[in-house]
Amino acid sequence: MRHFRYRFEVGASLQAVAEFHRDPHTLRRLTPPPVVVRFHYVEPMAEGSIAEFTLWFGPFPVRWRALHTQVDATGFSDTMVKGPLRFWRHRHSFVALNDHKTLISEEIEFEYPQGLSGWWTRLLYSPFALRLLFFYRSMITRWMLEGDRKVK
């Protein structure tokens, strides 16, 4: 089992961070170009809610079905029920540092499929690719939640 961790601070309250991550449009906002997200089915964020979507890496579609668990004011987990990896669980945790600053921690446990059939997942979901993805997400989260650009 592989592990990936990424942490960053955002100048926003715990409540604002939690609401931002519960918005069904947030995944689209946090997906870097040129990847495109197409939603097939999304339930409001709650314990046991499901999200089904396709990530388009250029002409190549990657379909996911995620189950949300451990949903509370300090974060949530999404576990891949169906998708390209053998296993994927992503925990989003939020900790208030003060009234206007929150620490966001991203922790992922994942496992690649065995053999040649999963070679492309080792590229798309490599530690380097995940680090780039979460750097982008941290920048967009800050941009959306801080200053005059706050999400309404």
The answer as to whether 100 is a domain residue is yes
Helix axes 127-145, 14-22, angle to 10 degrees: 120
pLDDT in tens, 15-72: 999 999 999 889 999 999 999 999 999 999 999 999 999 999 999 999 999 999 999 9
Do the domain assignments include residue 15?
yes
The CATH number for 73's domain is 3.30.530.20
**In the prediction, which pLDDT does 151 show?**
52
C-alpha torsion 79→39→106→46, nearest 10: -60
Query: How many domains is the chain built from?
Result: 1
Residues 69-116 pLDDT 10s: 999 999 999 999 999 999 999 999 999 999 999 999 999 999 999 988
* SS3 per residue for 59-110: CEEEEEEEEEEEEECCEEEEEEEECCCCEEEEEEEEEEEECCEEEEEEEEEE
In a domain, 89, yes or no: yes
Would you say the C-alpha torsion 38, 40, 44, 48 has a positive or negative sign? Answer: negative
The answer to whether residue 91 sits within a structural domain is yes
What's the pLDDT at 87? Answer: 98
CB atoms within 10 A of CB 130: 18
Neighbours of 27 (CB within 10 A): 19
Q: What pairing do the DSSP bridges indicate for beta strands 60-72 and 50-57?
A: antiparallel
- Beta partners for residue 139, in sequence order: none
- Please name the residues in contact with 128: beta carbons below 8 A apart, sequence gap of 6 or more: none
In a domain, 152, yes or no: no
Domain-embedded: residue 118: yes
The residue segments making up the domain with residue 48 are 2-147
Torsion 107-109-115-118 (CA) sign:
negative
